[in-house]
Amino acid sequence: MFHFGVDYYPEHWPEERWREDARLMAEAGFNVVRLAEFAWSRLEPSQGTFDFAWLDRAMNTLARHGMHVVLGTPTASPPPWLMSLHPEAFLVRETGQRVSYGNRRNYSPTSAVYRDYSKRIVTKMAEHYKHHPAVIGWQIDNEFGDRDYDAPAFRSWLERRFGTLQRLNERWGTAFWSHEYGDWNEIPVPLATAGVPNPGLALDFARFCSEAYVAYQRMQVEILRKHCPEHFITHNMMGFRYELIDYFDLAYDLDLVSWDNYPRGFWNIAADVDPSTMALGHDTMRGLKGTNFWVMEQQAGAGGWDLVSVMPKPGELRLWAYQAIAHGADGIVFFRWRTARHGTEQYWHGLLDHDARPGRRYHEIKRMGQEIARVGQTIEGSSVKARVAFLLSYDSRFALQIQPHNPGFGYAEQFQGLYRALHARNVAIDVVAPSADLSRYDLVVAPSLYVLTAKTAEQLERFVEAGGTLLVTPRSGVKDDANAVVELPLPGLLARLCGVVVEDYDSLPVGRSNALEYAGVEGAVGSAWCDILTPHGAEVVAHYGEDYYAGQAAITMNVFGRGRALYLGTLGNDVLNDALVARLLDLAGLEPGPSEVAGVEVSERWLGGTKLVFVLNHTESEQVVTLADGVYHDLLADRLVEGELRLAAREVLIVQAEAQA
């Protein structure tokens, strides 16, 4: 069953209202609700006193209207009594201050006492709901994150990692500035008050913080697996943009990846929605386990805590939900059902406004609900097939947070710039870990593999040797696993594969760029960082046009085995990225996607030999799209179509075609 539903908080509303809510949900075509992920104070009103009666009644009302339930474990927001009893369970911020009560997600995941209380509430819930017929799955906690600067836990993690202080000192190079540690208790956390930290210490701290949530989640997973083996277990992540947790590690213990998609969620990013930003979020989430995912919170109205973001325009909620499906979502759950009257999120709008009258947004999603009832079955289980992979290295991302090099050099921005250029050509993309099996891809883009292991370097060599096309970008192969700079000429372990040496480099002043001489391409520039390259077997693809390195290589290509490795020495503007991407596709023998009308996304899901083509008009005006030769079944309108089609602003078309041999 394709899951289509909404996040609901019965505890916010009088019980007399629940039945009407459930009725309207059913009328909208919903078949699933997520409940209870912030309801700890209602489920355990005082220490050791549990009350599930109200939730039972809410679930039964919802179940009578055909809803399945995903239950959230409520550990993201501990009740006041718990934190008053154990203020030591609050996490510590970078400033060294322990958080005080008043928000959520403010506990320390390594706190023994917090883990005990968490175990207890999760066990009680699991025992109570293991046989409830409406329950299909569990969401653990809510959007894990935030680093906990709690020293004792870090020290024991280091002890397990290094075994001896001698090894730690050696790996971190603590002879620098006399930081040699003689006792585990001397080791600090990288507090803001300490200033710029040792890079080795700081990277291990980032890993520790990430692993702390993985371990805390695992504790809950084990309880739920034991009591509720029939239910799936998920956690709602935050897509590509979240950068404090290694999501590959976090996803490892889960049955299903889900995430929260807010294209216009925040005041500062709400003006212009870039479809490639959402697409990258989806592709990253699909890549975590290499399989379909859910959107557990799909934007349902304007976002707002203190500032209110732009209201989604007519058609956008449905368009974004279909875009998620096009990228592999098998479940869409809107956040939230009704806009809350109280609390920090009074202006985070749901499908219904405060007054609960079904309005524009409700009716838009109700239309989608009717469509999903007809086509959901066809879509579910089909999958995205990509020949292009982007490597997402959390180690490199963490290390570049510690040393960003240049205000214009962002790991995420660089990644997204290259992704956007490929997405604009409607190419299917997987986002995978550097350790992933690359043999099924023709093209691999590896943005700044700054922290590089010998294993990854060998794996990339094997990929290219076997005929693959690889793009490597600046600041690759710079650091080893301990975040120490390698002693090799850069790009270190990738120099042989790329047939190039970084002879010199330049960190450009803000606002400056270097014009590139790239055959036939007007307006290509590099900014922020310029690696000045000396080819050692590679062919020069582009030269710098300015400064003391004018005429020297900026992009190279090396034939290696049956494939080729390109080295891009700078951060390209859109013109450069676009030209480069065209060349990469050509080298890899890949065709760009079906339509190239700017702002019209075309994405495919495959069902065996049949494909479903999603055409998504992200623009503000009608567009004409041309289908490839053949007759197609327009699934939403249930009619046969061919040739040129008109697609209204923010409209969606899903056509089914037989695979062309």
The contact set with ligand GAL (CB under 6 A) reads 142-143, 236, 260, 297, 335, 345, 348
Cβ closest to ligand GAL, residue 7 vs residue 578: 7
Tell me how far, at minimum, the Cβ of 236 lies from ligand GAL, in Å. Answer: 6
Active site residue 143: yes
CB 491 within 8 A of CB 389: no
Tell me how far, at minimum, the Cβ of 116 lies from ligand GAL, in Å. Answer: 25
Give 525's contacts (C-beta < 8 A, 6+ positions apart): 513, 514, 515, 516, 572, 573, 575, 576
Count other C-beta atoms under 10 Å from residue 536's C-beta: 14
Residue 135 parent element (H or E):
strand 135-139
Cβ closest to ligand GAL, residue 297 vs residue 330: 297
Give 240's contacts (C-beta < 8 A, 6+ positions apart): 280, 281, 283, 284, 392, 412, 415, 416, 431
Tell me how far, at minimum, the Cβ of 145 lies from ligand GAL, in Å. Answer: 10
The catalytic residue among 37, 44, 211, 297 is: 297
Give 622's contacts (C-beta < 8 A, 6+ positions apart): 646, 647, 648, 649
> Per-residue DSSP letters for 409-431?
--HHHHHHHHHHHHHTTT--EEE
How much is the CA Rg of the chain, to the nearest whole Å?
Answer: 26
Active site residue 222: no
Cβ closest to ligand GAL, residue 50 vs residue 267: 267
Give 21's contacts (C-beta < 8 A, 6+ positions apart): 8, 10, 13, 337, 338
> Per-residue DSSP letters for 442-466?
SEEEETT--B--HHHHHHHHHHHHT
The catalytic residue among 37, 44, 143, 380 is: 143
Tell me how far, at minimum, the Cβ of 258 lies from ligand GAL, in Å. Answer: 11
Count other C-beta atoms under 10 Å from residue 173's C-beta: 17
Residue-wise over 623-653: b if at least 16 C-beta within 10 A, else e?
bebebeeeebbbbbeeeeeeeebebebbbbb
Cβ closest to ligand GAL, residue 139 vs residue 396: 139
- Alpha carbons 541 and 539: distance in angstroms, whole number: 6
Cβ closest to ligand GAL, residue 143 vs residue 243: 143
- Alpha carbons 463 and 37: distance in angstroms, whole number: 43
- Alpha carbons 392 and 364: distance in angstroms, whole number: 35
- Alpha carbons 580 and 559: distance in angstroms, whole number: 17
Tell me how far, at minimum, the Cβ of 303 lies from ligand GAL, in Å. Answer: 6
CB 576 within 8 A of CB 518: yes
Cβ closest to ligand GAL, residue 198 vs residue 236: 236
- Alpha carbons 119 and 251: distance in angstroms, whole number: 20
Q: What is the DSSP letter of 177?
A: G
Paired tokens of 199: 């890079």
Paired tokens of 26: 């059913």
Amino acid code (one letter) for 216: Y
Tell me how far, at minimum, the Cβ of 93 lies from ligand GAL, in Å. Answer: 19
Phi, psi of 72 (to 5 degrees): -90, 135
Tell me how far, at minimum, the Cβ of 238 lies from ligand GAL, in Å. Answer: 7
Residue whose entry in the numeric block shows the structure tokens 């590139």: 516
Phi, psi of 554 (to 5 degrees): -110, -30
Cβ closest to ligand GAL, residue 335 vs residue 549: 335
Cβ closest to ligand GAL, residue 34 vs residue 618: 34
Tell me how far, at minimum, the Cβ of 292 lies from ligand GAL, in Å. Answer: 21
484 alpha-carbon distance from chain centroid: 28
Tell me how far, at minimum, the Cβ of 648 lies from ligand GAL, in Å. Answer: 30
Cα–Cα–Cα angle for 483, 473, 426, nearest 5°? Answer: 125
- Which is nearest to 290 in space by CA: 216, 423, 389? 389
Cβ closest to ligand GAL, residue 143 vs residue 430: 143
Tell me how far, at minimum, the Cβ of 245 lies from ligand GAL, in Å. Answer: 14
- Which is nearest to 581 in space by CA: 599, 568, 597? 568
- Alpha carbons 209 and 187: distance in angstroms, whole number: 16
Tell me how far, at minimum, the Cβ of 42 lies from ligand GAL, in Å. Answer: 16
Cβ closest to ligand GAL, residue 140 vs residue 588: 140
Tell me how far, at minimum, the Cβ of 36 lies from ligand GAL, in Å. Answer: 12
Give 14's contacts (C-beta < 8 A, 6+ positions apart): none
CB 603 within 8 A of CB 428: yes
Cβ closest to ligand GAL, residue 240 vs residue 348: 348
The residues carrying an active-site annotation are: 143, 297
